[in-house]
Amino acid sequence: MEIKRDLYLQKLIDRQWNGMVKIITGIRRCGKSYLLRTMFRDYLLAHGVSADRIVHLELDQVKNIRYRNPLELAAFIHGIIDGRPERFYLFIDEIQMSEPVKNPYLPDAKRITFYDVLNEFKEIPNLDVYVTGSNSKMLSSDILTEFRGRGDEIRIHPLSFSEFYSVAGGDAEKAFEQFAFYGGMPLAVCQRDDASRMAYLDSLFSELYLKDIAERKHIEYPEELSQILDLLCSSVGSLTNPSKIANTILSRKQVGICPNTLKSYIEHLKDSFLFTECRRYDVKGKAYFDYPMKYYCEDVGLRNARTGFRQMELNHIMENIVCNELRVRGFAVDVGIVYESVRNKRGNSVQVQREIDFVASKGNRKFYIQSAFAMPTDAKQDSELKPFALTGDSFPKIIVRRDIGKRWYDEHGILHVGLTEFLLDPAILD
């Protein structure tokens, strides 16, 4: 079963021969390699590129371990293309597996890295370079500096609901229930039964993600890393900060964690694309708060597996899915904070913070979005809708709801839209 990833395939097609290194980033096993070595390769072959003009190396394979040495990698590629006029495509999977090496001619000089080699490759006029990687510190955060403005990042995510539904079909609401439970990791979707899906998702943490972080980051306390992971998975969509996480682990496990260690472990989880951090943003003051913030899991199936498929708080899962959908559509996502003046018990006017789940921004476009599982009472409606009125601007305001079908606008111009319709219709945010 092949799942179409047309959004990402088109991005690769559009960026051919643009003079930049195409850097495909994302969590491991989300489909980066398949997109490159199968979908994009099939596209090239169908458009007249011969197979011997496509060079593909998978650095996470033992057979290619020598090419983790940047000098060996450079020598191998030059041996193929030097002196030949034909155009070549170079695909390198899991480039973060490359290791820095000493300069053999200047032992005391800066070590040679894959950045040096890729910068050299992009200067070769008949070579178009594409790499995949699963660590943001080594890739996306360094694109502008290490590639001197000539790196082009394409971020890949697990399957969105629309991609999932393209193969699941049938009733959209039933398909969503499946998606909200097992998520969109491509190989999980392709498993034959529920038990296999659950086992696969659980194995990704135990056999891949945690081991990968521990080995590459030289983690001294893997049990503490595991505890932080568990806590973040169980509290998606909740405001938190390092101190709160440390206190919770201390009370539950009787284990103290140094604040700096805790912060670094959270960064490792973010760098591996397992979690996204959403900071709180003062809508009127146009400033960010340092703490607290929210964390969302890259895939709700992974989150559910880590909690043993027991903590199925559908309101938080829905919020996580909406956040991920906004990021798939290319929006920067913050948590919006607005202020309401209220009277306290003494009759004095005080400023109270109200929260907008998501402030989604892309270019000069901005949307305020609330995620509401249901709005059965006037009090619930008031709590969800009031923050919109406090923004003081006219940017579009949307409330995504699980309890309605057809979309409609209320008397304040706020769009109420059902969850599955929002996930399946990208035009809503056009």
pLDDT digits (tens, 9 = 90+) for 35-46: 999 999 999 999
pLDDT at res. 344: 83
pLDDT score of 234: 92
Look at residues 106, 125, 155 and tell me which one is the last residue of a structural domain: 155
The pLDDT assigned to 256 comes to 75
Same domain assignment for residues 168 and 122: no
Residue 354 is assigned to a structural domain of this protein: yes
> Which token pair is 273?
């694309």
Q: For 165-183, write each residue's pLDDT tens digit.
A: 999 999 999 999 999 999 9
pLDDT digits (tens, 9 = 90+) for 149-167: 667 889 999 999 999 999 9
Tell me the residue type at 106. Answer: L
Residue 1, in any domain of the structure: no
Q: Are 358 and 323 in contact (CB under 8 A)?
A: yes
In a domain, 48, yes or no: yes
The answer to the question of residue 402 being in a domain is: yes
User: What count of residues does the chain have?
Assistant: 430
- Residue 108 shares a structural domain with residue 202: no
| DSSP class of 160 | P
292-348 pLDDT, tens per residue?
A: 999 999 999 999 999 999 888 899 999 999 999 999 999 999 999 999 998 888 888
* pLDDT band at residue 257 using 50, 70 and 90 as cut-offs: confident
In the prediction, which pLDDT does 147 show?
Answer: 62
Over range 190-209, report the average pLDDT: 94
Number of C-beta neighbours around residue 15 at 10 A: 15
| Same domain, yes or no: 396 and 308 | yes
Q: Do both 135 and 168 map to the same domain? A: no
Q: Is the dihedral of CA 401, 391, 282, 359 positive or negative?
A: positive
The model's pTM is 0.92
**19 with 124, same domain?**
yes
Statement to judge: residues 135 and 195 lie in one domain: no
Regarding whether 168 and 134 lie in a shared domain, the answer is: no
**Residue, of 25 and 368, whose pLDDT is higher:** 368
Domain span at residue 28 reads 6-155
| 214-224 average pLDDT score | 87
The reply to whether 77 and 208 lie within a common domain is no
> Residue 34 belongs to a domain with what CATH number?
3.40.50.300
Structural domain includes residue 76: yes
The whole-number average pLDDT for the span 47-69 is: 96
Structure tokens at 415: 């769009």
3-class DSSP state for residue 199? helix
**Mean pLDDT, all residues of the chain:** 92
Residue 230 confidence (pLDDT) above 50: yes
Considering the domain boundaries, does residue 121 fall inside one? yes
Q: Please indicate, yes or no, if residue 305 is contained in any of the structural domains.
A: yes
Residues 118 and 172 occupy one common structural domain: no
Same domain? 172 vs 123? no
Give the model confidence (pLDDT) of 108-149 as tens digits: 999 999 989 998 999 999 999 999 988 765 554 455 456 656
End residue of a domain, out of 155, 190, 206 = 155
Of 120, 136, 155, the domain-final residue: 155
Shared domain for 180 and 326, answered yes or no, is: yes
Does residue 62 fall inside a structural domain? yes
pLDDT of residue 184: 98
Number of structural domains (the chain) is 2
Q: What is the pLDDT of residue 345?
A: 83
Q: The sheet that has 408-409: what strands, in order across it? A: 287-288, 280-282, 332-343, 349-362, 365-372, 397-401, 415-418, 408-409
Positive/negative CA dihedral, 325, 326, 331, 334: negative
Kindly state whether residues 141 and 171 are assigned to the same domain. Answer: no
Q: Kindly state the greatest CA–CA separation across the chain.
A: 84
Mean pLDDT of 177-191: 96
